Amino acid sequence: MKFSERYGYKPIKNIIQIESIDSELRNGLWNCLLDILYDDTERVDYDYIDIWENYFKLPVDKIRNSINYYIFQDIKKYFFKCQWYEVYDLIEFILDNDCFLEGSEYKRKNFINKCNEVLKRELSGYRIINNQIVRITSEEEINEVEKAINNKTKIDGIREHLITALKKLSDRKNPDYRNSIKESISAVEALGCAITGNKKASLGQALKLIEKENKIQFHKALKEAFEKIYGYTSDEDGIRHKMLSKTKVDFEDARFMLIACSAFVNYLIEKANKSGINVLRE
């Protein structure tokens, strides 16, 4: 993770790409399109004309000779200069109009799978679902992570745990989802220990102590939900177990835990402050 990302100078929504597409993501999606736009078989002209006429909405009589080559070059030029959302517009157009997919379900699934692999690898906040590009990370979720990281708490470790979780999640070359989850839950655990004054308490123990001592009152369902999430990370198939190498942990798992733990950190800080437990620096 770059300096600007670690210390909050670059918004997390640019790390998890929501309103942007960087060169790596754009290049990856273009390589997916190449498989269907320009393969080794002879491409029929009307496939290109479909994009020219119905996507670009340009007059067909302006198309030059050698339709395949020139329209392909126009599509490429457009793709690398257009706005980030227009990249997704073009991909959706191809999916929606069956353009270049030749009615082949296998070819469609292969194209979608390849695009989704690139979107996942490059930390896009979108995926192709049911032939549409759907947002999987909301602005509110991103704001929770940013708020939790930027909270100026008196407690050592919370910010560091969350930054490390984000770093391990967003490492495009060697993501470490397992340890990202560990760091996310450790941030909540550190805050729980600080509120109870018991540095050795697990998160489950801390939540019980907080409630028992009437420091903070939790909604029963909320407390039980987070205890179960913590239990998931600690049981024999969980993140902290030494045999977890046999258990599949993916981007979606780590992303969920980072967002959920960030939101719970923010929630606990607000609850603590309302209860007279000041955990923020002046």
Three-point CA angle 98, 101, 107, nearest 5°: 130
Q: What pLDDT, on the 0 to 100 scale, is given for residue 41? A: 46
7 or 143, greater pLDDT: 143
Mean pLDDT of 231-260: 68
| pLDDT at residue 40 greater than cutoff 50 | no
Per the confidence metrics, is the pTM higher than 0.75?
no
Between 77 and 193, where is the model more confident? 77
- Chain centroid offset of residue 175 CA: 12
* Percentage of the chain modeled with pLDDT above 90: 17
Average of per-residue pLDDT values in the chain: 79
Residues 130-178: tens digit of each pLDDT: 888 988 877 788 888 888 888 776 666 888 899 899 888 888 778 898 8
Residue-wise DSSP of 77-100: HHHHHS-HHHHHHHHHHHHHHTTT
- Ordered by start, the domain boundaries in the chain are 17-135, 139-274
Q: For the segment 69-111, what is each residue's pLDDT rounded down to a tens digit? A: 677 888 899 999 999 999 999 999 988 887 677 667 888 889 9
Tell me the CATH number for domain 139-274.
1.20.120
* pLDDT bracket for residue 118 (50, 70, 90): very high
First to last CA, the chain: 29
| pLDDT at residue 195 in the model | 82
Distances (CA, A) of 192 to 57, 181, 206, 216, 261: 58, 17, 5, 11, 12
Query: What pLDDT score was predicted for residue 89?
Result: 93
d(CA 43, CA 192): 62
The per-residue pLDDT for 55 is: 87
